[in-house]
C-alpha cells in the first residue's frame, strides 16, 4: 500500500471511435482506430480542431452523456468503457486556476479519493505519497491560492495521482507556465511514471518539452482517423513539416520569422526610479524598484521574468493604466504630440490622460482577449476606438476594412467576438488596438499558450508595426518571442 | 488508531493550537445563531432584545475574536441598526402622544418604542451571526452540512468549489475596468458600462465554471460511488453546548420580556 506500483497500467483501445458535440454538425473525432498498450507513453499531436482534447476527455470519462453529444464506434480504457472505469484514468487540464477545487493543499489532493469512496484511513497516506511524488513539498494546510502556476499544476497532478490511475492524461499541462514551471511539471510527470508505470497520453504543442519522456507519437487528422503513428523520431522526420504548418512546435522546424527593416526613431516614453509590485497602492509589495527604461519609436522592449514577478504590472504602469508605486513614467513631447501644437494641455504623465487621449498614444493588448471585448460583432469591435476618437464615418470604414483584410478577419466580420477561435481572438484584440494607430503598443503575454501558427502571425504583425515606426513593449516569458523581436530586455 | 482520529486533526496541525471555540463545528455555530434568531423574531420589545444583547456582549470575550476583527466585520450591523431604527421612528405605526408630524412622518410614543426595540433587535440578531461566522472555515462548514446535516454532497461541494472562483472573478472585474480605459471608453458612462461589464464577467464566469466542473468530474465527482470524507465532521458535547447556549440566550430574553410584561407577540 506504500506505492502505486500495485495498480496495473491501463491500455486504450479505439475501434472506429468518434464523437460529435451536441449542437454541432461536424464530428470532433471520427473513424479513430488506435491501440495503446499498458505502460506506453504517447505524445498526441494534431492541428487545432483535430479533436485532441475531445479524445482525452472521452478517455477520462468526462465527455458526458447523450445530452452532451453523440458517440460512434467503441472506446475502451483497461478493457472497459471509460464511464464504467472512473478513477482508472486521471486527467490534468491546461488552466492551473480552474483546476484547484479546495482551499487547502491536502484537502484538494484528497478530493478525488473521497469521490472514489476510498476509506478515510487510507486517504491521508495516499495524499502524502502523491505530494511527495510530484515534489510539492508544502504543508497540507497550505492555502492553494498561494501556489504558483507550476505548483498548482503539480497539485492537480497529485490530486489525480492519489486516485491511483492506470492511465495518465495530460491536456497541455504546461502551456500556461513560465519556463521554470514547465520543467518542474515535466520532471514531476517523469517521476510519477517511473514510480507507477502508468500509461501516459499527453497533448502539447511544444514537442521538445515531452520528447525525452515519450516513446510514441500519434498524430490525429482533422478529417478523421490518424495522420501518423510511430516512434517520435520517425514521425517527426516524416511529418515534421506538415505538423509545423499545422501549428505544432516541432524541433528543427521553427516558425518563419518576418523580414525586418529596422530603423530607430525618437524617444517616446521614459521611466525613472520606477517601482512595481503586487497589491494595492496602500498595501503594496514592491517586487522591483529603480527601473530605468526608454521606449523609442521603431524599437521592441521585452519585459521578462517568471510568473508573478510584476511583468504585467510594469507593462500596465508604462501603458498609463496603473499609477507608479514610486518614480515616474514620463511621455516625451513627441508622444504627447506637442510639435503638432494640437495638444498643448496634455499632461506628461500617461496615468493622468483621459481614456481617449491614450488611444492615439499607447494601446494595450490584454493577455485574455475576452477582457477587452465590448461589442457583439467583430466589425463593431474594431469601430469602438475610431468612434471614441470621433473620426468621420468614411475614415472609420476605411480603417476597419483595411484591418479586417490585413488580419484575415473579413470572413468573421459579423461574428460575435466571444465565439471566435483562439487565434482569431488574438488577432482581433491586436486589430482593435491598431485601429486607433497608437505610437506604442503594450502587450501582456502576447504568445501565452499559442500554437506555432498563431505565434508566427502575431510576431509578423508586431514586426510590421515596429518597422513602420511604432514601439512595442511586451511582458513575456517566451524566449523565442524575445529572440525574434526584442531590441531591449528588462529582466524582473 | 481510530478512524476518527485520522481525520482533520492530521490535515490541520494548527487546529490543536486554536482557541477552543474556533474548533467547534461550524454547523453548531450556525444552529446557535439560528435558534437565537428564531426566539427573537417572535416578539418586538426592547426588553427581550436588550437582554439578549447584554448576554451576548458578556459572552463575546470567550469567543476568541480579536477586537479589530470584531469591529471591522460587524461595522455593517452597527450602521444598519440605527438606520432601521430611524426608519421605524419616522414611519412606524403611531400610538400615544405624537411629538412631531410632517407629511407621512409621525414621531409618536409608539414609534419611539418600536424604533428602540427594532434597532436593539437588529444588533441582537446581527452581531452573534457575524461573530459566529468570523471563525468559520468554508471547507469545515461544507463538511458539517454534508456529514452532520446530511445535505446532498453534490450541492454542498459544488457551492464550496464555486466559492473559490470568487477571487478570480474579482481579478476579472479589475481587468475589465482597466480594459475599458485602454479601449478609449473609460472617460464617461461608468454606470452605463456596468451591464456590459457584467455580461463579459458572466461569459468568463461560465467558462471558468465549466472548466472547474470538468476538473471535478475528472476526479470522480458526481459518480455513482458512495463518497467518503477525508475530514471527520463531528457533533459532540461542545457542539451541543454552543447550540444550547444560543437557545438559552433566546429563552432567557423571552422570559425577561414576559416577566416584565413587555412581551409583544409579532403576529396580531
**How does pLDDT run across A109-155, given as a tens digit for each residue?**
999 999 999 999 999 999 999 999 998 989 999 999 888 888 999 99
Chain B residues within an 8 Å CB radius of A374: 180, 183, 185, 196
User: Between chains, do A120 and B14 touch, taking CB under 8 Å as contact?
Assistant: no
pLDDT band at A346 (very low <50, low <70, confident <90, very high): confident
CATH assignment of A267-491, among 3.20.20.30, 3.40.50.300, 3.40.50.720, 3.40.190.10: 3.40.50.300
pLDDT in the model for residue A341: 53
Residue of A nearest to B220 (CA): A115
Q: Closest approach of chain B CAs to the CA of A9, in angstroms? A: 18
- On the question of pLDDT at A18 being above 70, the answer is yes
User: Between chains, do B223 and A95 touch, taking CB under 8 Å as contact?
Assistant: no
Closest by CA position to A101, among listed A58, A158, A23, A62: A158
Question: Are the C-beta atoms of residues B49 and B120 closer than 8 Å to each other?
Answer: yes
Chain B interface mutation, best of A82, A92, A374, highest count of B Cβ atoms under 10 Å:
A374
Q: Closest approach of chain B CAs to the CA of A460, in angstroms? A: 23
Q: Among A90-94, A453-457, B32-36, B243-247, which is the least confidently predicted range?
A: A453-457
Residue of A nearest to B206 (CA): A98
Kindly state the DSSP code that residue A250 receives in the 8-state scheme. Answer: B
Question: Are the C-beta atoms of residues B65 and B114 closer than 8 Å to each other?
Answer: no
- On the question of pLDDT at A283 being above 80, the answer is no
A45-97 pLDDT per residue, tens: 988 778 898 999 999 999 877 788 899 999 999 999 998 888 899 999 988 88
- On the question of pLDDT at A1 being above 70, the answer is no
Chain A residues within an 8 Å CB radius of B226: 117
Q: Closest approach of chain B CAs to the CA of A481, in angstroms? A: 24
pTM of the predicted structure, to 2 decimals: 0.83
CA distance A204 to A207: 7
Chain A interface mutation, best of B220, B221, B229, highest count of A Cβ atoms under 10 Å:
B220
For domain A4-245, the question of CATH label 3.40.50.300 is answered with yes
pLDDT in the model for residue A233: 93
Chain B residues within an 8 Å CB radius of A354: 186-187
Q: Closest approach of chain B CAs to the CA of A414, in angstroms? A: 18
B155-197 pLDDT per residue, tens: 999 999 988 888 889 889 999 999 999 999 888 777 888 888 8
pLDDT in the model for residue A232: 94
Query: Taking phi first (over 0 means left), then psi (-120 to 50 degrees means alpha), and beta for anything else, what does residue A476 get?
Result: beta
pLDDT in the model for residue A229: 93
Beta bridge partners of A216: A42
Q: Closest approach of chain A CAs to the CA of B129, in angstroms? A: 23
Structural element, H or E, at residue A398: helix A393-406
CA distance A482 to A462: 12
Sign for the pseudo-dihedral over CA of A416, A421, A426, A428: negative
User: A-B interface: how many C-beta pairs under 8 angstroms?
Assistant: 178
Give me the numbers of helices (H) and strands (E) for chain B, helices first please: 9, 2
CA distance B214 to B100: 63
Closest by CA position to A100, among listed A154, A161, A46, A139: A154
- Residue A32: CB partners within 8 Å, gap ≥ 6? A14, A16, A17, A18, A55, A73, A220, A224, A225, A226
Residue of A nearest to B195 (CA): A374
A366, three cell numbers: 490584454
User: Between chains, do B179 and A366 touch, taking CB under 8 Å as contact?
Assistant: yes
Q: Beta A326-331 vs A440-444: how paired, if at all?
A: unpaired
Chain B residues within an 8 Å CB radius of A90: 218-219
Q: What angle do CA B262, B263, B268 make, to 5 degrees?
A: 125
Q: Closest approach of chain B CAs to the CA of A385, in angstroms? A: 6
User: Between chains, do A98 and B186 touch, taking CB under 8 Å as contact?
Assistant: no
Q: ipTM of the predicted structure?
A: 0.86
pLDDT in the model for residue A280: 53
pLDDT in the model for residue A5: 47
- Rounded to 5 degrees, φ, ψ at B136 are -95, 130
Q: Where are the domains of chain A?
A: 4-245, 267-491
Kindly list the strands in the beta sheet with A199-203, ordered across the sheet, starting from the edge strand earlier in the chain.
Answer: A89-92, A167-171, A199-203, A41-45, A216-220, A226-230
Average of pLDDT values for A376-398?
A: 94
Chain A residues within an 8 Å CB radius of B184: 355-356, 358-359, 384-385, 388-389, 436
pLDDT in the model for residue B3: 38
User: Between chains, do A107 and B231 touch, taking CB under 8 Å as contact?
Assistant: yes
Chain B residues within an 8 Å CB radius of A121: 1, 3, 6
Question: Nearest CB to A99: which of B7, B184, B215?
Answer: B215
Residue of B nearest to A387 (CA): B184
Q: Closest approach of chain B CAs to the CA of A212, in angstroms? A: 27
pLDDT band at B1 (very low <50, low <70, confident <90, very high): very low
Q: How many beta carbons lie within 10 A of that of residue A331, not counting itself?
A: 27
- Intrachain domains A4-245 and A267-491 with the same fold: yes
pLDDT in the model for residue B92: 83
Average pLDDT, chain B: 85
Instruction: Tell me the range of A139-148, A385-394, B86-95, B159-168 where mean pLDDT is highest.
Output: A385-394
Chain A residues within an 8 Å CB radius of B11: 104, 106-107, 110, 124, 140-141
A92, three cell numbers: 490534468
A247, three cell numbers: 501549428
User: Between chains, do B139 and A107 touch, taking CB under 8 Å as contact?
Assistant: yes
% pLDDT > 70, chain A: 96
Amino acid at each position: 500500500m506504500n506505492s502505486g506500483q500495485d495498480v496495473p497500467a491501463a491500455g486504450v483501445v479505439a475501434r472506429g471511435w468518434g464523437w460529435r458535440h451536441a449542437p454541432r454538425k461536424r464530428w470532433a473525432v471520427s473513424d479513430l482506430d488506435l491501440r495503446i498498450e499498458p505502460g506506453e507513453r504517447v505524445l498526441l499531436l494534431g492541428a487545432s480542431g483535430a479533436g485532441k482534447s475531445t479524445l482525452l476527455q472521452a478517455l477520462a470519462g468526462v465527455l458526458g452523456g447523450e445530452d452532451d453529444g453523440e458517440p460512434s464506434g467503441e472506446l475502451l480504457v483497461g478493457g472497459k468503457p471509460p464511464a464504467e472505469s472512473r478513477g482508472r484514468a486521471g486527467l490534468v487540464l491546461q488552466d492551473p486556476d480552474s483546476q484547484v477545487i479546495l482551499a487547502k493543499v491536502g484537502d484538494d489532493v484528497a478530493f478525488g479519493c473521497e469521490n472514489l469512496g476510498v476509506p478515510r484511513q487510507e486517504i491521508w497516506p495516499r495524499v502524502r505519497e502523491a505530494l511527495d511524488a510530484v515534489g510539492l513539498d508544502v504543508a497540507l494546510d497550505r492555502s492553494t491560492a498561494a501556489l504558483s502556476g507550476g505548483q498548482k499544476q503539480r497539485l492537480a497532478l497529485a490530486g489525480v495521482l492519489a486516485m491511483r490511475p492506470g492511465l495518465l492524461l495530460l491536456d497541455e499541462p504546461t502551456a500556461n507556465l513560465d519556463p521554470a514551471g514547465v520543467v518542474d511539471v515535466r520532471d514531476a510527470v517523469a517521476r510519477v511514471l517511473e514510480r507507477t508505470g502508468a500509461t501516459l497520453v499527453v497533448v502539447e504543442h511544444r514537442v521538445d518539452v515531452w520528447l525525452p519522456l515519450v516513446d510514441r507519437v500519434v498524430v490525429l487528422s482533422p478529417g478523421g482517423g490518424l495522420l501518423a503513428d510511430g516512434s517520435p523520431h520517425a514521425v517527426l522526420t516524416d511529418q515534421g513539416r506538415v505538423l509545423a504548418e499545422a501549428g505544432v512546435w516541432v524541433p528543427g522546424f521553427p516558425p518563419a520569422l518576418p523580414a525586418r527593416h529596422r530603423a530607430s526613431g525618437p524617444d517616446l516614453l521614459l521611466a525613472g526610479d520606477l517601482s512595481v509590485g503586487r497589491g494595492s497602492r496602500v498595501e503594496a509589495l514592491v517586487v522591483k524598484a529603480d527601473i530605468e527604461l526608454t521606449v523609442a519609436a521603431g524599437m521592441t522592449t521585452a519585459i521578462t521574468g517568471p510568473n508573478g514577478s510584476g511583468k504585467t504590472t510594469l507593462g500596465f504602469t508604462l501603458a498609463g493604466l496603473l499609477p507608479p508605486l514610486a518614480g515616474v513614467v514620463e511621455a516625451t513631447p513627441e508622444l504627447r504630440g506637442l510639435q503638432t501644437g494640437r495638444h498643448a494641455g496634455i499632461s506628461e504623465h500617461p496615468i493622468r490622460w483621459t481614456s481617449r487621449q491614450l488611444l492615439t498614444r499607447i494601446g494595450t493588448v490584454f493577455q485574455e482577449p475576452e477582457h477587452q471585448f465590448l461589442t457583439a460583432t467583430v466589425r463593431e469591435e474594431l469601430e469602438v476606438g475610431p468612434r471614441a476618437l470621433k473620426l468621420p464615418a468614411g475614415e472609420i470604414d476605411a480603417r476597419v476594412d483595411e484591418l479586417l483584410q490585413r488580419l484575415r478577419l473579413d470572413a468573421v466580420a459579423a461574428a460575435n467576438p466571444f465565439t471566435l477561435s483562439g487565434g482569431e481572438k488574438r488577432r482581433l484584440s491586436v486589430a482593435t488596438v491598431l485601429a486607433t494607430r497608437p505610437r506604442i503598443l503594450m502587450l501582456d503575454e502576447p504568445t501565452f499558450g499559442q500554437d506555432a501558427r498563431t505565434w508566427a502571425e502575431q510576431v509578423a504583425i508586431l514586426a510590421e508595426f515596429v518597422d513602420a515606426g511604432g514601439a512595442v513593449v511586451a511582458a513575456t516569458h517566451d524566449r523565442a518571442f524575445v529572440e525574434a523581436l526584442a531590441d531591449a530586455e528588462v529582466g524582473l | 488508531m481510530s478512524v476518527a482520529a485520522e481525520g482533520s486533526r492530521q490535515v490541520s496541525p494548527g487546529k490543536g493550537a486554536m482557541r477552543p471555540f474556533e474548533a467547534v463545528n461550524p454547523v453548531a455555530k450556525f444552529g446557535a445563531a439560528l435558534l437565537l434568531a428564531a426566539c427573537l423574531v417572535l416578539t418586538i420589545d426592547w426588553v427581550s432584545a436588550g437582554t439578549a444583547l447584554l448576554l451576548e456582549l458578556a459572552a463575546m470575550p470567550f469567543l476568541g475574536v480579536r477586537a479589530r476583527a470584531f469591529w471591522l466585520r460587524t461595522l455593517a450591523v452597527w450602521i444598519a441598526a440605527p438606520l432601521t431604527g430611524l426608519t421605524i421612528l419616522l414611519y412606524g405605526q403611531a400610538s400615544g402622544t405624537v411629538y412631531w408630524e410632517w407629511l407621512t412622518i409621525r414621531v409618536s410614543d409608539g414609534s419611539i418604542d418600536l424604533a428602540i426595540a427594532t434597532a436593539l433587535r437588529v444588533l441582537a440578531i446581527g452581531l452573534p451571526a457575524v461573530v459566529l461566522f468570523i471563525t468559520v472555515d468554508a471547507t469545515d462548514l461544507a463538511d458539517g452540512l454534508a456529514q452532520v446535516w446530511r445535505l446532498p454532497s453534490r450541492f454542498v461541494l459544488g457551492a464550496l468549489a464555486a466559492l473559490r472562483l470568487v477571487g478570480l472573478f474579482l481579478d476579472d472585474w479589475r481587468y475589465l475596468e482597466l480594459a475599458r480605459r485602454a479601449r478609449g471608453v473609460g472617460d464617461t458612462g461608468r454606470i452605463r458600462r456596468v451591464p456590459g461589464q457584467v455580461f463579459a464577467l458572466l461569459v468568463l464566469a461560465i467558462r471558468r465554471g465549466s472548466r472547474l466542473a470538468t476538473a471535478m468530474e475528472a476526479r470522480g465527482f458526481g459518480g455513482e460511488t458512495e463518497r467518503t470524507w477525508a475530514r471527520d465532521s463531528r457533533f459532540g458535547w461542545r457542539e451541543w453546548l454552543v447550540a444550547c447556549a444560543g437557545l438559552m440566550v433566546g429563552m432567557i430574553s423571552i422570559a425577561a420580556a414576559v416577566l416584565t410584561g413587555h412581551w409583544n407577540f409579532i403576529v396580531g
